[in-house]
Structures are given as C-alpha cells and as structure tokens.
Chains A and B, each alone.
Chain A
Amino acid sequence: MPLLDVFGISASGLTASRLWLDITANNIANLQTAGRPNDPLNPAYRRKVPVFAEKLRQALDSPPGQPSFNAAGVSVAAVVEDPSPPRLAYEPSHPLADPNTGYVAYPNINIANEMVSMIAATRAYEANVTVLNAAKDMALRALEIGKG
C-alpha cells in the first residue's frame, strides 16, 4: 500500500537528522580535544560531517499499474572528516605541545558552524515528524471509509 511507504520515507529522514545531530554533538563535545602537530600518533580531533544521498528503491519493486516513483527517502552515504587544517595554539607547557615549536593542535571546529548545524538538524527532524503525523492522519481517515 503506497500510503504506508510514507512512514519508511519519513523514518529515513528522522534517522538522518538524528545522526546529523549526534555528529554535531560529538563535534561540540570534542571542541578541546587537542593533539600534537604533525604527529600521526596523537592527532587532533577533526570535525566530522555527514554526507546525505537520495535513496532510491529498485525500480523493479514498483507494482504494474502503479505510477513508477521509486523514491525511498534519504540515506547517509558517508561520514567524512573536514580536511581543513587544525587550529594551532602556542602552549609550550601543554603535554601535547610539539617539543620543537611549542604549538598544540586544536580541532578545526568553529562553534558557530556547529550551532547552525544543530538548529538545521532539529528543524529537519521536526519537518519529518510533521510529515509523518500527516500521513498517519490520512491512514486513519482511510480506515474510516465505509464506517458510516
């Protein structure tokens, strides 16, 4: 039944938004996770971002006579690390400071970006909830056909 597919599509949107919020929370939590510059054994935390991709069903499952719309929501294709360089701070007394230069590598995280991502993820989640509730109302109304 096509109406019930909507639940799966909205659920994929909810999952993607929640994962994005988790990743943002992880970025903010690691705001001060320092590392030693140019030392692969003590890397600074790098900002992570999700990559969203449109999810499509196999065109084969669409039943004959139904209009072919093979959309199935959204998927998270990958979680990638932001390649921008870490922020260097001169703190010679820090245990992770580079012994030659005295610099410590801090994550390449801008708190303003993370707050914006957080709001965007929250709003996307709310929009998907609204769509899910609308689909639920429609399904309930369909059950009332013929009840008299």
Chain B
Amino acid sequence: MDLFASPIMVALQKQLDAAALTQRVIAHNVANVNTPGFKKSSVSFTEELRRALGEDVLPLVTSDPRHIGAPVPLARVEPTVVKEEGTTMGYNGNNVDIDQEMVNLAANTLTYQAAARALGDRLSLLTYVIRGR
C-alpha cells in the first residue's frame, strides 16, 4: 500500500492546490474592482472532486475507464478557472461583486485551513504508527 497516495491524501493535496488557486483568483478580482470592463473569474473544483470521489453521481455500469460516464480518476482532477463574461454590476462594464468576493475569501481561507489541518492530522497519525508511541 502506498502510504502517501491514498485517496484522502491525494484529495487533500488537490484541495490545497485548488484553494491556493482560488485565493489568486479572488485577489485578482478584488485588485480589479475598479477596472473598467473587467470581468471576474471563478474556480470550479468541488463538483469535479465530488464526482471523482464517487459522490452525487448516478452509477453507470462501466467496465473500462474510457467508457462514457466513468468518473475522472482522482489523480487527474484539476481546478479550472472560468471567466464570467455575461454579467455587469456597474456602469463601467465591471462585474466584480465585492461582497461576494469577501464571502468567497472567508470560505476559501477556512477550506484551506481545514484541508491543511486534516493533512497534518493524517501525517501525525502516520508518525504515531511508525513510532508506535
């Protein structure tokens, strides 16, 4: 058994990467809150992770990973940055909603800290197992 490639470790690492990317996207949106014509971006990751972990999907019987409906393997789940072009908040074509960005920021910080805590606990569990005390 690979100690460091268990699904929970891989999922936590991916979650940390995704939260770091989300932080960059939020910082970019907030920095451009007064830029005329700027369109905000957002990160889509949770749905993909959930699908890869086999939650919230209707199981479709597949016998080969290339079949349609087979979930993406966990190792290949990547966060994607989506630009939201359709909406406009103010008169200058900018669509950054500062309230929404601040709420996303708080949620993202907590997600990052939770993932870091879970990863740390997991590693200290390994330390405990290895030392036996």
- Which A residues contact B (CB, under 8 angstroms)? 2-3, 5-6, 9-10, 12-13, 16, 20, 51-54, 67-69, 71-74, 120, 123-124, 127-128, 130-132, 134-135, 137-138, 141-142, 144-148
Contacts and interface: CB of A to CB of B under 8 A. Distances in A.
Contact of A6 (B27, B38, B117): B27
Contacts of A71: 24-25, 28, 41
Given A20-B34, A67-B78, A142-B116, 15 more contacts: A9-B28, A10-B30, A16-B31, A52-B36, A54-B28, A67-B79, A69-B81, A71-B41, A74-B35, A127-B101, A127-B102, A134-B23, A142-B112, A144-B120, A147-B120
Given A69-B21, A131-B105, A120 B34 contact: yes
Give the interface residue-count category, chain B: 35 or more
Contacts of B52: none
Interface of B: 16-17, 19-21, 23-28, 30-36, 38, 41, 78-81, 98, 101-102, 105-106, 108-109, 112-113, 116-117, 119-120, 123-124, 127
Contacts of A68: 81
Nearest to A127: B30
Chain A binding surface, main DSSP class: helix
A124 B41 contact: no
A22 to B, nearest CB: 15
Chain B binding surface, main DSSP class: helix
Contacts of B78: 67
A12 B31 contact: yes
